Amino acid sequence: MADDVRQTVRREFDRLLSQEQREREERIRDAEARDPEIAALLKRRTLALTGAYARALSERRAPAREEIRAELKRMDDEVRARLAALGLPGDYLEMRYRCNVCKDLGYVGDAGRRDCECFRARLDEERRKRARLDMAGDDTFERFDENVFPATPLPGLDYSQRDFMRRVRDICVRYCDAFPNNRRRNLLLTGAPGLGKTFLLNCMANRLYARGVAVSYLTAYRMLGAMRESVMGVDERPFQLMLGAELLIIDDLGSEPIYRNITIEMLFTLLNERMRARAHTLIATNLTAPQLLERYGDRVASRLINTEDTTILGFVGADVRVRGKGG
């Protein structure tokens, strides 16, 4: 997948550079049509570069090189003056690069090429897009605000929702720190809506992605879409990516429709194959363990709540989404 992303971005850079070159050629033709002297100046400039300049370099005479530079500057100044007379900007005939560091090549250096910062940024953007990390937004552990959770003791308990969420956050942080050498590879976050499950999934996704982990993040609804495409022979790749993801994150399990011969069967295949591959999976659901058993049956539920491989975090308390970040 990494090579595929790089090739995709490489082709994108090549296409954009070719497009920029075509647009520049169109601007040159436009200017030459409106002022034929511009065409003559550009032709003389090309001859100066390929003729006299080459001879000066071979003779290694500094004065000659300076003369050529001066002549080129005179021609460039005249071209700009003529462009101005046409009401056109002075850089009308120049390439319009998005990145002036690499000139939109995507790399810098000659002998030892290395990715330009713009290319690395585009790679990162495309990888996040494919991993659907746009869903995770900018949620991070550093932005976790415990003050949005009530500090009063929970009914019948000697700790508050705030105390509980601090402990849960710490468990999630430790999971990320230990990855991939976790004693239990999977996390199952259960509880009513608005308790902070999705926020913590986002935090873990962003923390591990920043470490270079190949994360695949999707909602249960999108998961089902990939399953249907695979079963119907439309496109098997999305489901195969889910099977092979280094870290698979599924949010809101239980919200997806139940399609006969697809939902339960393919979910079992997904969980079972990832368990056999000792892959890491994070799941959030509004359903309780008994509800998971009722909805998906014993085979799926046994893989969701297998405590040998899975740490189950049951969220408690009040819906805090209206109180601020963290819910």
* Average confidence score pLDDT of the chain: 89
CB under 8 Å to 58, separation ≥6 — which residues? none
Give tens-digit pLDDT for 230-251.
999 888 888 988 999 999 999 9
pLDDT at 148: 92
Question: With contact defined as beta carbons under 8 Å apart, do 274 and 281 qualify?
Answer: yes
Which of 89-98, 111-120, 128-137, 293-302 has the least mean pLDDT? 128-137
pLDDT at 159: 94
The overall pTM is greater than 0.85: no
pLDDT at 53: 54
Residue 100 DSSP symbol: T
Q: Where in the chain is the domain with CATH 3.40.50.300?
A: 131-314
Residue 190 DSSP symbol: E
Question: With contact defined as beta carbons under 8 Å apart, do 296 and 119 qualify?
Answer: no
Mean pLDDT score, 23-52: 89
Q: How far apart are CA 238 and CA 248, in angstroms?
A: 12
Nearest Cα residue to 204 out of 252, 145, 140: 140
Question: With contact defined as beta carbons under 8 Å apart, do 64 and 73 qualify?
Answer: no
pLDDT at 273: 96
Tokens 């979910």 sit on residue? 267
Query: What percent of the chain has pLDDT above 90?
Result: 71
Q: How far apart are CA 115 and CA 117, in angstroms?
A: 6
* Residue 303 three-state SS: helix
Give tens-digit pLDDT for 207-220.
998 898 888 999 99
Question: With contact defined as beta carbons under 8 Å apart, do 98 and 23 qualify?
Answer: no
pLDDT at 123: 84
pLDDT at 63 over 60: no
Q: How far apart are CA 224 and CA 239, in angstroms?
A: 9
Give the CATH architecture of domain 131-314.
3-Layer(aba) Sandwich (3.40)
pLDDT at 161 over 90: yes
pLDDT at 59 over 70: no
* Residue 324 three-state SS: coil
CB under 8 Å to 134, separation ≥6 — which residues? 128
Look up residue 318 and give its amino acid. Answer: A
Query: What percent of the chain has pLDDT above 70?
Result: 90
pLDDT at 57: 54
Q: Give CA torsion, residues 124, 129, 134, 135, to 10 deg.
A: -140
pLDDT at 326: 44
pLDDT at 325: 44
Sign of torsion, CA 28 34 40 44?
A: negative
Q: How far apart are CA 81 and CA 256, in angstroms?
A: 65
Query: What token pair was written down for 264?
Result: 């339960």
CB under 8 Å to 230, separation ≥6 — which residues? 236, 238, 239, 240, 266
Q: How far apart are CA 248 and CA 129, in angstroms?
A: 15
pLDDT at 11 over 60: yes
Mean pLDDT score, 177-205: 96
Q: How far apart are CA 251 and CA 219, in angstroms?
A: 5
